[in-house]
Amino acid sequence: MTIRSVIRLMIVLAVLAVAIWFTLRSVDLTSLGSSLDNISWPLVFCVIPIILLSHYVRALRWTTILSPSVPVRRVWPALSAVLVGYASSVIIPRSGEVLRPWVFSRRTGIPLGATLSSVVVERILDVLTLLCGFGLVFIFQQDRVLQAIPSLTPERLLVAVVIPAFLLLAVIVVLTFTSAGLSLADLIRKKVHARFGVWLHGVLMQVRQGTVAIRTPALWFRLTLETVSMWLLYTIPLWLLFKAMPIASLNALGFADAAFMLVIVSIGVTIAPTPGAIGVYQGFAQTALVQVYGTSPAEGLAFGIAAWLVNYGVALVSGALCLVLEVHAGLKMTSFKQVRQEIHDSTS
């Protein structure tokens, strides 16, 4: 293990310790145990098929993104790769972002560069969707957002969300709909640094290949429908978990409240540096429920634990099973060590 890896591990462990301390600092452990014992676990388990369906829709959208350049005839290889990637990220933060396209590439023979660029497009769509959701929630429920995230102010929102969102959108437009990026790469290659310019040109070509779907109006409706369906399927389990909790105030919450919780928790997951967003996921859920809906810290944490267990538990178990099937089908995980070289080759 390199010094860099050790430092990174120490940072992750430190953040994890702080997150766990933050969620437990005012919790009555007896009350927490009672809340967990009295959860309607049969109802909790009923959300598992819905979670799996949401993963299927994500895999389906992935094939849609790939379809203009690399048609995919079956969804199963994409679904298997998605689940393997999710399981990996539960153990090693963000590792699934590379493992997922690599598994899919090995399974289907599709070039790794194409699968990597399609995942970049996926993440762009997810971030834009989350920003839109956050914007709607902030417009119509600003007081609740400020309660759920006490450190957030309109000024910080402008700096941390609005400006980066516009910059991201501008970069996407430039890279996707114009040749400015490629011209810049060629200029760098000729005038500044030849090797870096060639690498940047390769990266931008891969990104443009992956964004063909965005530049194909015939696919816009399908991409929109699949994206909206996926986020609705993310919301339903949280709504059902409200009903499964032994807390009257949560039982009374509706679908709009579940959508609000999804946005808040998704922000935590997006910024979480810990494996599986452990500590951060529960902390964001707990803070939102305590500050907005008036639950006790123990009740809020009980909901966060239950929601995390069912979502990440499904990801870990189903991903592990899919990995076993992939290995049985001939996938050699030892060759994953060569992925950096493969990425370099695909962009050079």
d(CA 232, CA 215): 25
**Domain-embedded: residue 3:** no
Does residue 346 surpass a pLDDT of 60?
A: no
Averaged pLDDT for residues 109-122: 82
φ, ψ dihedrals at 28, nearest 5°: -85, 110
Number of domains, the chain: 1
Closest C-alpha among 266, 38, 47 to residue 148: 266
Closest C-alpha among 192, 295, 318, 196 to residue 248: 295
Reduced to 3 states (helix: H, G, I; strand: E, B; else coil), residue 40 is coil
Give the range among 167-171, 184-188, 281-285, 334-338 with minimum mean pLDDT.
334-338
Averaged pLDDT for residues 132-138: 77
d(CA 153, CA 273): 23
Averaged pLDDT for residues 206-213: 75
Does residue 106 surpass a pLDDT of 90?
A: no
**Domain-embedded: residue 336:** yes
d(CA 278, CA 66): 32
Averaged pLDDT for residues 221-247: 93
CA distances from 188 to 78, 159, 195, 318 (A): 36, 30, 9, 45
Between 122 and 3, the higher pLDDT residue = 122
**Domain-embedded: residue 84:** yes
pTM: 0.84
CA distances from 49 to 75, 147, 239, 258 (A): 17, 33, 15, 18
d(CA 39, CA 76): 34
Does residue 86 surpass a pLDDT of 60?
A: yes
Averaged pLDDT for residues 121-126: 84
Q: Which domain holds residue 306?
A: 26-347
CA distances from 202 to 114, 120, 195, 206, 340 (A): 12, 15, 11, 6, 15
Reduced to 3 states (helix: H, G, I; strand: E, B; else coil), residue 285 is helix
**Domain-embedded: residue 18:** no
Closest C-alpha among 78, 347, 117 to residue 213: 117
Q: Kindly state the percentage of the chain with pLDDT values over 90.
A: 27
**Domain-embedded: residue 11:** no
**Domain-embedded: residue 6:** no
Give the tens place of pLDDT for each residue, 192-209: 888 888 877 777 777 777
**Domain-embedded: residue 287:** yes
What is the DSSP secondary structure assignment for residue 74, as one 8-state letter? -
**Domain-embedded: residue 63:** yes
Residue ranges of the alpha helices (H) in the chain?
3-24, 29-37, 41-46, 48-66, 76-91, 96-108, 112-140, 142-148, 154-157, 163-177, 180-191, 194-210, 220-244, 248-251, 255-271, 280-293, 297-328, 339-347
**56 alpha carbon, distance to own chain's centre:** 15
